[in-house]
Amino acid sequence: MKTEVRAKTLQLNHFIGGEFSAGSSGQTFDTINPATNEVIATVALGTADDIDRAAKAARKAFETGPWPRMSIRERCDVLRKIGDIILAKREVLARAESMDAGKPISESLEGDIPRSAYNFHFFADYAQSVHEDLFSVGEYERHMAVREPLGVCGLITPWNLPLYLATWKIAPCLAMGNTCILKPAEWTPYTATLFAEIVQEAGLPKGVFNIVHGLGANGAGEALTRHPLVDSISFTGETSTGKAIMAAGAQTLKKLSFELGGKGANIVFADADLEDALSTSVRAAFRNQGEICLAGSRLFVEDKVYPDFVERLVEKVKQIKVGDPLDPKTQMGALISKEHLQKVEGYLEMGKKEGKLLTGGTRLAELPNGNFLTPSVFTDLPFNSRFCQEEIFGPALPVIPFKSEEEVINMTNSTPYGLSASVWSTDVDRCHRLSTKLRSGLVWVNCWFVRELRAPFGGQKSSGLGREGGRYSLDFFSQTKTITYKYKK
């Protein structure tokens, strides 16, 4: 990442106290288009000073501003407006997201951006139904559990679903009356900056929403996790980063929510609807270039149907159209960075040594400047190899045969992760047995990535801490206070 200042390129600044501003150091870094490796924009490089300015602005807005004092209905009206403006700017946001993250424009247009708007529309409705408890002791004693905001919330997000995941945190955070500081991933700062213009347009009071761009460790991200005026951190990213944030946040006892890495599984039994299992497993493995925490990045297939299933799988994978993210026909775009491409290629080499590559794993000759990789399928890899245990976060799928339920449950549960798994079978009792025995925060039966925003979302084991979605998000972004009345008879 470079830090020189360039003339005439787009400049993405911090958004602090309702104003866009360059960093206190004057330093910048580049955000790069993964499809061309050309600079899209220079970005203000946040420092501990910038985080301090943002924390003070957010604290002031929390302590003395109107936002926490408004009725929930008034706050939700602003949230709804933000959702409406996101939809109105869908094309611009989708293009920016695809340029910055390398993802197909069809996914940004039909997936990421509408979902970002829906995050606001959903919480604008849902937050108004949030309940508070009342405990009566006889006729003259009442204990009220009143919900209050937390204060200033730090939100730290990854690059794979930039606006989608940022808004998934911002909407419930604001609904509960908090103020916040977003530290977007350094690889994808573009749509966050456009989003700041949207909150201005929607009339969100100054200081309620702030952005500081920059790096994680030793940068703006780490400074945010240590700042004494920040009450909580909601983080989505790698498991190792979660551990570092937990250690840093311990000094000021921050409330924490973590959505971390995954090594999802698709488990296909011989009695399943094999056509559906096949096409969904392909989508699960390669959607968003395989850069999804919920990716079905291991495919277990019952031995009776394994050879035929693998043959059909390879045919289907070969048909995936890899190419320019801005082409509407593209199904798989570019990996986020050269470094990430090389990391994924390292795993491919490992896979070739220990197992058998059936298709893919090559760069795109026609687009040599971008971080493109064709989708790959491997067999003959031990389930406990690094390839099958670690999160590759790229388009590389190992297929592993199994003989029994017990065997596949053990293999699925063998990784440190526990985010998601899909079970494919027409035997409901078997599906039930698996769904109870898999150590995973989400189990899909005969489907993948089917989401309901009221339902809890999050991982077991090293995949996370806490849950997001519906009341689970509202619970995280609020705290209860018990107020007791003792009336006179």
Q: Is residue 210 at the binding interface for ligand NAD, with CB under 6 A as the rule?
A: no
How far is it, in rounded angstroms, from Cα 396 to Cα 332? 13
390 lies in the site for ligand NAD, by CB under 6 A: no
407: left (phi over 0), alpha (psi -120 to 50) or beta: alpha
Comparison of 157 and 412: residue with beta carbon closer to ligand NAD: 157
Query: Which one among 40, 117, 156, 392 touches ligand NAD, defined by CB under 6 A?
Result: 156
**Residue 225 binds ligand NAD, judged by CB under 6 A:** yes
**Binding segment toward ligand NAD, per CB under 6 A, in 110-118, 233-241, 277-285, 401-409:** 233-241
Q: Is the dihedral of CA 401, 404, 407, 409 positive or negative?
A: positive
Q: What tokens were used for 428?
A: 């409901």
How far, CA to CA in Å, does 330 sit from each of 103, 186, 211, 398? 9, 25, 32, 23
Asked if 49 interacts with ligand NAD (CB under 6 A), we say no
- Alpha-carbon dihedral angle through residues 229, 234, 239, 245, given to the nearest 10 degrees: 0
Residue 170 contacts residue 121 (beta carbons within 8 Å): no
Residues in the chain: 489
Q: Which amino acid is at 209?
A: F
Please state the closest distance from residue 31 (CB atom) to ligand NAD, in A: 13
Do residues 463 and 418 make contact, with C-beta atoms less than 8 angstroms apart? yes
Q: How far is the CB of 14 from ligand NAD (least distance, A)?
A: 14
Task: Please report, as residue ranges, which positions from 420 to 479 form the binding site for ligand NAD (by CB under 6 A).
Answer: 459, 464
Residue from the set 50, 97, 112, 186 that interacts with ligand NAD by CB under 6 A: 186
Active site residues: 259, 293
Binder of ligand NAD out of 34, 114, 151, 262 (CB under 6 A): 262
Q: How far apart are CA 335 and CA 110, in angstroms?
A: 20
Residue count at the site for ligand NAD (CB under 6 A)?
32
Q: Does 112 bind ligand NAD (CB under 6 A)?
A: no
DSSP helix/strand/coil, 9? coil
Q: How far is the CB of 124 from ligand NAD (least distance, A)?
A: 22
Binding test (CB under 6 A) with ligand NAD, winner from 175, 391, 422, 448 = 391
Site string for ligand NAD, 392-431 (x = CB under 6 A): -x-------------------------x------------
Give the one residue of 55, 79, 245, 278 binding ligand NAD; rule: CB under 6 A: 245
Q: Is 1 in the site for ligand NAD (CB under 6 A)?
A: no
Long-range pairs, 342-348, Cβ under 8 A, ≥24:
343/394, 344/373, 344/392, 344/393, 344/394, 344/395, 344/396, 345/373, 347/386, 347/387, 347/390, 347/392, 347/394, 347/396, 348/376, 348/396
Structural tokens at position 160: 């794979």
Residue closer to ligand NAD by CB (options 203, 416) is: 416
Tell me the window of 136-144, 154-162, 173-181, 357-365 that interacts with ligand NAD (CB under 6 A): 154-162
Least Å distance, CB 209 to ligand NAD, is: 17
Q: Which residues of 442-466 are buried (b: 16+ CB within 10 A; e: fewer)?
A: bbbbbebbeeebeeebbbbbbbbbb
- Interacting residues with ligand NAD (CB under 6 A): 156-161, 165, 183, 185-186, 215-217, 221-222, 225, 236-238, 241, 244-245, 259-262, 293, 391, 393, 419, 459, 464
